[in-house]
């Protein structure tokens, strides 16, 4: 067995002379040094100088016992004593979990598979803690997934898929992190295959649910439409009633204004008639108007086919005029007597008595003068 000093001297001598090839020097070639062996690949050739790639961990044993972990970069080994036993990749590793059968809490048989993402955190534990880490992690993921699916119903599996993934990751880390030095980063359920009858039943359920939602939406639409129609009719009736109210108010105002105008016109006409009657020949003019109205009335009666009962002297115009004038005189005398009674009932002061009597005498004088100047018409007809 050569010592370290002898090996170094031999190496320097070979480099100086340049007469020995790389295999006899015990130095690995460039192609071997930069290779990236996987966990399943064979270990590199044991040489004196070793170059470890980045994101890899090489386990070195000395005389069959763990010695050290080679870090990325330049490393030196003792020939025949040191040996690279395991090469572990520190990169994230993807493992396909094969499809397996599971039974849910509501007794539904399904097939499910997934993808597992893991990473080696302790290469020594991974190398010496378990024989085949990939197979062990795959079996652990399958058993954990089967156990978790048995606790959930089919509907919960579809609804809580993310929480199921988290639960499986926690269970795998609990079993593999400490003894094996492997950390499970995440687990994703890929496919869930159901029996044909369950798939048909779920499809029918989905269709029924959609029909139910469609019916609910349609009924809600009809409800909103009926509400909108009722609101529209309500507003229309309110507007119609307000319009009718305004129409009645305007009509009443118009009728009131018309009545007021007619009353004012009639009062003006009566004032004019009264002024005319006070003048000379006023009563003769009134008699003429009454006679004209009498003739017009008989003219209208003659145009109709109605049967009328008339007095015997209906054609005597003078008789009708005399009756009208006698009625007018009676109304005038009654009105004068009412005015006298009202004036006598008023309270008077001492200073107003003389004025009252003088006004009363003047009124009587005017009445007497009118009665003498305009004698009543003859009542020969009566």
Select from 194, 221, 240 the last residue of a domain: 194
- The reply to whether 157 falls in a domain is yes
The pLDDT of residue 229: 92
Q: What is the DSSP letter of 102?
A: E
Q: 48 and 133 in one domain? A: no
Q: 51 and 129 in one domain? A: no
The pLDDT of residue 239: 92
Average the pLDDT over 224-245 and give the result: 92
CB distance 283 to 325 below 8 Å: yes
Select from 56, 88, 120 the last residue of a domain: 88
Half-sphere exposure of 176 (CA within 13 A, CB side): 29
CB distance 129 to 188 below 8 Å: no
Percentage of residues in the chain having pLDDT higher than 70 = 62
Crossing angle for the helix pair 317-345 and 353-373, to the nearest 10 degrees: 170
| Residue 313 backbone dihedrals phi, psi, to 5 degrees | -100, 35
The pLDDT of residue 237: 92
* Joined tokens for residue 322: 């005399």
The domain in which residue 54 lies consists of: 43-88
Exposed (0-12), middle (13-18) or buried (19+): which is 172, by Cβ within 10 Å? buried
Run of H or E including 356: helix 353-373
Q: 144 and 62 in one domain? A: no
Q: 183 and 170 in one domain? A: yes
- The reply to whether 362 falls in a domain is no
- Paired strand residues for 93: 118
- The reply to whether 129 falls in a domain is yes
- The reply to whether 379 falls in a domain is no
| Count of CB atoms situated within 10 Å of the CB of 145 | 25
Distance in angstroms (rounded) separating the CA atoms of residues 33 and 44 = 8
Q: 138 and 72 in one domain? A: no
- The reply to whether 333 falls in a domain is no
Q: 136 and 117 in one domain? A: yes
pLDDT band for 380, please (50, 70, 90 cuts): very low
Cα 185 versus chain centre, distance: 43
The pLDDT of residue 201: 84
Structural domain count, the chain: 2
Q: 47 and 140 in one domain? A: no
Of 360 and 117, the structure prediction assigns the larger pLDDT to 117
Q: 157 and 98 in one domain? A: yes
* Joined tokens for residue 119: 């990473």
Q: 189 and 99 in one domain? A: yes
- The reply to whether 374 falls in a domain is no
CB distance 114 to 188 below 8 Å: yes
**Angle, alpha carbons 3-8-12 (nearest 5°):** 150
Residue 78 region, left (φ>0) first, then alpha (ψ -120 to 50), else beta? Answer: beta
Select from 194, 209, 229 the last residue of a domain: 194
Residue 63 region, left (φ>0) first, then alpha (ψ -120 to 50), else beta? Answer: left
pLDDT higher than threshold 50 for residue 33: no
pLDDT band for 48, please (50, 70, 90 cuts): confident
pLDDT higher than threshold 90 for residue 289: no
pLDDT higher than threshold 70 for residue 222: yes
- The reply to whether 135 falls in a domain is yes
CB distance 287 to 325 below 8 Å: yes
Average the pLDDT over 10-33 and give the result: 37
Mean pLDDT, the chain, integer: 74
Average the pLDDT over 295-303 and give the result: 67
pLDDT higher than threshold 90 for residue 230: yes
Q: 170 and 131 in one domain? A: yes
DSSP state letters, 113-169: EEEEEEEES-HHHHHHH-S-HHHHHHHHHHHHHHHHHTTS-HHHHHHTHHHHHHHHH
Q: 98 and 79 in one domain? A: no
């Amino acid at each position: 067995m050569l010592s370290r000093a002898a090996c170094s001297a031999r190496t320097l001598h070979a480099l100086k002379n340049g007469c020995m090839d790389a295999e006899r020097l015990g130095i690995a070639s460039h192609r071997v040094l930069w290779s990236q062996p996987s966990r399943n690949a064979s270990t590199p050739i044991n040489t004196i100088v070793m170059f470890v790639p980045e994101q890899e961990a090489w386990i070195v044993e000395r005389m069959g016992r763990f010695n050290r972990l080679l870090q990325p970069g330049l490393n030196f080994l003792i020939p025949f004593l040191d040996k690279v036993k395991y090469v572990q990749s520190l990169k994230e590793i993807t493992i396909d979990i094969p499809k397996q059968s599971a039974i849910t809490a509501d007794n539904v048989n399904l097939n499910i598979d997934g993808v597992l993402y893991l990473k080696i955190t302790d290469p020594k534990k991974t190398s010496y803690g378990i024989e085949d880490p990939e197979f062990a992690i795959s079996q652990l993921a399958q058993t954990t997934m089967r156990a978790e699916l048995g606790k959930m119903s089919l509907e919960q599996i579809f609804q809580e898929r993310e929480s199921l993934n988290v639960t499986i990751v926690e269970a795998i880390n609990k079993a593999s992190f400490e003894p094996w030095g492997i950390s499970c980063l995440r687990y994703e359920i890929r496919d869930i295959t159901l029996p044909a009858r369950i798939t048909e039943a779920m499809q029918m359920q989905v269709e029924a649910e959609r029909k139910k939602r469609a019916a609910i939406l349609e009924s809600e639409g009809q409800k909103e439409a009926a509400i909108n129609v009722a609101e529209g009719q309500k507003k229309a009736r309110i507007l119609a009633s307000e319009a009718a109210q305004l129409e009645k108010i305007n009509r009443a105002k118009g009728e009131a204004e018309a009545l007021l105008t007619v009353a004012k016109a009639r009062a003006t006409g009566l004032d004019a008639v009264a002024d005319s009657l006070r003048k000379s020949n006023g009563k003769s003019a009134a008699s003429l108007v009454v006679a004209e109205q009498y003739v017009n009335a008989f003219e209208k009666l003659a145009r109709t086919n109605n049967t009328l009962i008339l007095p015997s002297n209906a054609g005597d115009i003078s008789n009708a005029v005399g009756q009208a004038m006698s009625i007018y005189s009676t109304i005038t005398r009654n009105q004068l007597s009412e005015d006298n009674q009202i004036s006598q009932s008023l309270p008077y002061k001492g200073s107003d008595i003389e004025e009252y009597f003088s006004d009363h005498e003047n009124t009587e004088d005017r009445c007497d003068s009118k009665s003498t100047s305009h004698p009543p018409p003859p009542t020969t007809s009566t």
